[in-house]
């Protein structure tokens, strides 16, 4: 008879996996080094999660930033600007910066191979774009163009963030993000 799962241990493992990914990256992740760092065995990770992919997907699911809530009460362009500025701040130096770095890695993997990360990345993209597009409609931006404008805002900020992570140029990327936000809000 199999012993029941220790849910507290499972939750702690997921948090520790997120920390490991944030520090070591996702690209070359292997179960043995991961398990050693977590003070367990690869066999125990499989016991708790089934596969490496399922472990990673579940760990990533704990990190799904609640960015869409930033846009739920927005009904004017000043609020839209503030929401987009808060999104930028949160992803660059706020509490969501680690989650965002992990999400960018997942999106990179999902862009070259269909697999367990594709659904997660697609959902994260659409959730935020939908939230921004809905806010834009409430601000009077044409429904016909709101989804495209939201894509420009979200994907543009994501691209600037990736630039910042690669180059380390905070001043230039902050200016660029501000400029993008102003252009999107002015439409």
Delineate the domains of the chain, giving CATH numbers in brackets: 7-61 (1.10.10.60), 67-186 (no CATH)
Q: What is the pLDDT of residue 65?
A: 61
Q: What whole-number distance in Å separates Cα of residue 84 and Cα of residue 69?
A: 12
Q: What is the pLDDT of residue 2?
A: 58
**Confidence class for position 9, pLDDT limits 50, 70, 90:** confident
Question: Mean pLDDT, to the nearest integer, of 13-32?
Answer: 86
Contact 91, 104 (CB under 8 A): no
Q: What is the pLDDT of residues 71-123, one digit of tens each?
A: 999 999 999 999 999 999 988 987 777 778 888 888 888 888 777 778 888 88
Q: What whole-number distance in Å separates Cα of residue 115 and Cα of residue 135?
A: 31
Percent of the chain with pLDDT over 90: 45
146 or 67: which leads in pLDDT: 146
CB atoms within 10 A of CB 161: 20
Average pLDDT value over all residues in the chain:
88
Question: Mean pLDDT, to the nearest integer, of 40-67?
Answer: 83
* This prediction's pTM: 0.81
Q: Residue 1: pLDDT above 60?
A: no
Q: How far apart are the first and last CA of the chain?
A: 63
The gap from C-alpha 39 to its chain's centroid, in whole angstroms, comes to 27
**Confidence class for position 135, pLDDT limits 50, 70, 90:** very high
Q: Residue 54: pLDDT above 70?
A: yes
Tell the burial category of 177 from Cβ atoms under 10 Å away from its Cβ (0-12, 13-18, 19+): buried
Cα angle, residue 18 at apex, residues 102 and 60 outer, rounded to 5°: 60
Q: Give the tokens for residue 28.
A: 């070359």
Q: What whole-number distance in Å separates Cα of residue 104 and Cα of residue 96?
A: 12
Q: What whole-number distance in Å separates Cα of residue 106 and Cα of residue 72?
A: 26
């Amino acid at each position: 008879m199999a012993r029941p799962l220790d849910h507290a241990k499972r939750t702690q493992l997921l948090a520790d996996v997120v920390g490991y990914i944030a520090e070591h990256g996702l690209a070359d992740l292997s179960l043995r080094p991961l398990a050693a760092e977590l003070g367990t065995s690869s066999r125990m990770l499989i016991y708790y999660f089934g596969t490496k992919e399922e472990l990673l997907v579940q760990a990533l699911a704990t990190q799904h930033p609640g960015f869409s809530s930033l846009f739920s009460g927005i009904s004017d362009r000043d609020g839209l600007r503030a929401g987009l500025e808060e999104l930028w701040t949160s992803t660059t130096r706020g509490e969501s910066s680690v989650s965002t770095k992990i999400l960018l890695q997942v999106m990179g993997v999902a862009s070259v191979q269909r697999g367990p990360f594709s659904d997660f990345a697609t959902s994260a993209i659409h959730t935020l774009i939908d939230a921004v597009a809905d806010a834009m409609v409430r601000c009077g931006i044409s429904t016909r163009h709101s989804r495209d404008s939201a894509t420009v805002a979200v994907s543009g900020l994501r691209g600037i963030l990736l630039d910042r992570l690669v180059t380390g140029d905070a001043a230039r990327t902050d200016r660029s993000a501000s400029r993008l936000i102003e252009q999107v809000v002015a439409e």
